[in-house]
Structure formats: C-alpha cells, structure tokens
Structure 1
Amino acid sequence: MSRLPLLFLASASACLVVGVVLGIGMGIAHDFQLAPVHAHTNLVGWTSLALMGLTFRAWPDLAAGRLAMVQFVLSTGSAFALPPGIYLAAMHDQPGLAIVAGVIWFIGALLFLARLLRLAFRHDQAGESGAP
C-alpha cells in the first residue's frame, strides 16, 4: 500500500500543530491580527490535507501513479506557503507569495477533483477497490 495517505496526514498534522500554536499565541497576547493566517493554516493545511489523505486511504487507486505525487507536492507545498503569504500580504503589503500559493493550491485542488472524477466514472469495477 502507498505511503501517500500517511504523507498527507503527517503534513496535515504539522499544519495542525502550527495552527494551534498560533492560536494559543494570539489568545495569550490578545492580539488577533493574524487570525486569517491561523484560519488558513487550519483550513487549507490541517483540514484539506487531512481529507485528501483520508480520501487517498479510502480509495487506494488514487494514490497510484505519478500524478498522485504531483498532486501531493502541489497541495502540501502551497498549503505550507499560503499562511506565510497571507502574513506578508496583511502585515507588509506584499501579496505575491499569497497569490502564487493560492494559484498552486487551486491547481492541486483541480487535479484532486479530476482524479476523483476519473475514478468515479471509470467503466471497469477496479475503481471500487478500497471504497467503503
């Protein structure tokens, strides 16, 4: 079985830890300027990556092939880059990294959707392996 689902979940968990630490720090300081960074770390990083990993685990065919690794790299790379990009945009009026990371995230999400649809509409029954 592919380790890709675990790689997604490990990346998601790293984002969870960063998001929690950021949230605790904001709470202690009573300064919530970085709330969008915190929210995107949790939503894009923890939630989305975890759901992708669990989806790859439930349908092992998704983890097969080179495109699966491409989607992992695009998704995790952009999930890690987006929160610092949002920080730079909000605090230093430098939106470049947020824009690039957002576009790469979108490409990764489209690739995920395309691969899911391809599996869902495959004519042979092999696409059902691992399906709950």
Structure 2
Amino acid sequence: MARIDIWFLLLATLCLTTGVSLGIVMGIRHDFALAPVHAHTNLVGWASLALFGLTYRAWPGLREGWSARLHFVLSAPAAVLFPAGIYLAILHGEPLLAILASFLWLGGVLTFLGKLVRLARTATEEATEAAPAPALPMPAE
C-alpha cells in the first residue's frame, strides 16, 4: 500500500478534528459525560493512527506486503468504531460495539507489532534505518 502513511495521517487528522470538536461542545455545555469518547477519539484515533502513519513514513519498507494493508483495514474502522461503541455504552448501556471494536483494534496493533518485529530481525542495518527526512525548500531571499 504505497500511500499508507498518508492514509493513516489523514484519518488521524479527521479523528483529531472530531475529538477537539467534541471537547469544545462538552466544555460549552459543562457536561463531560462523554469524556471517555473524547479521550479515545484523540488517543486511538489521533495519536495512534498518526504514529502509525509517521512510522510508515520513516521506514518505507514497512509499507510492503499484504500486512500493511491488513493493518490499515483493521485499525482504520476500529479507530472510528471504538469511540462510537463507548458512546453507545455510556448513553444506551450497549457495550457490544466497543467490545468488538477493541478486538479489531487489538488485531491492528498485533499486525503492526509483527511488522516491527520483522523489521528488527532484518539482517542489515541499512534496512532498519529510518528514511532520510526530505529537504525543506529554503525561502528565496
């Protein structure tokens, strides 16, 4: 999946926007009953997905193979469904979606762990080094 880094970062930013918006609404209303939804949207959605994306960006070799696509297919819906499931559990007493999404999330995390373990076992040091950062354009004087 050639652009997996961008897809993870795009979804992470959408989760950040949702989490921040929910936080603002809770603050305006002085009602923090959905604080766990807000926290999981920001932690699972923003922080974790962004770290996945940045890791794929830094080590392009991780993008290769079917497991990168599997990682995204498991993690992307889980990052959206997990906070939604927490919402349903808090307001309607229905935790099933949160439970299912947490297992989906675990599957994505374990897939990522497997990719990192394979990278760590790579025989050559060059293969495990991070890609060089792209040069930033210098402003014209």
Is the shorter-chain TM-score for this pair beyond 0.5, marking a shared fold?
A: yes
Equivalent residue, structure 2, for 1:109: 109
- Residue 66 of structure 1, CA deviation: 1.4
Measured in 2, the distance between the counterparts of 1:123 and 1:50 equals 28
- Residue 126 of structure 1, CA deviation: 5.5
Q: Deviations over 1:29-83 (max 9, x none)?
A: 0000000000000000000000000000000011111110110111111001001
Equivalent residue, structure 2, for 1:27: 27
Equivalent residue, structure 2, for 1:77: 77
Q: Which runs of 5+ in 2 are unaligned?
A: 133-141
Equivalent residue, structure 2, for 1:18: 18
SS in 1 for 2:5: helix
Contact 2:9 2:53 in 1 (8 A): yes
Equivalent residue, structure 1, for 2:135: none
Aligned-pair identity (%): 55
Worse-superposed segment, 85-94 or 122-131: 122-131
Q: Which runs of 5+ in 1 are unaligned?
A: none
Q: Which has the larger radius of gyration?
A: 2
- Residue 123 of structure 1, CA deviation: 1.6
* Aligned positions, number: 132
User: For 1:78-93, what aligned pairs fall within 5 Å after superposition?
Assistant: 78-93=78-93
Measured in 2, the distance between the counterparts of 1:3 and 1:107 equals 21
- Residue 104 of structure 1, CA deviation: 0.6
Measured in 2, the distance between the counterparts of 1:26 and 1:125 equals 48
Measured in 1, the distance between the counterparts of 2:130 and 2:91 equals 45
Equivalent residue, structure 1, for 2:139: none
Measured in 2, the distance between the counterparts of 1:35 and 1:101 equals 18
Contact 2:122 2:128 in 1 (8 A): no
Q: Which runs of 4+ in 1 moved over 3 A?
A: 129-132
How large is the RMSD of aligned CA atoms in angstroms? 1.5
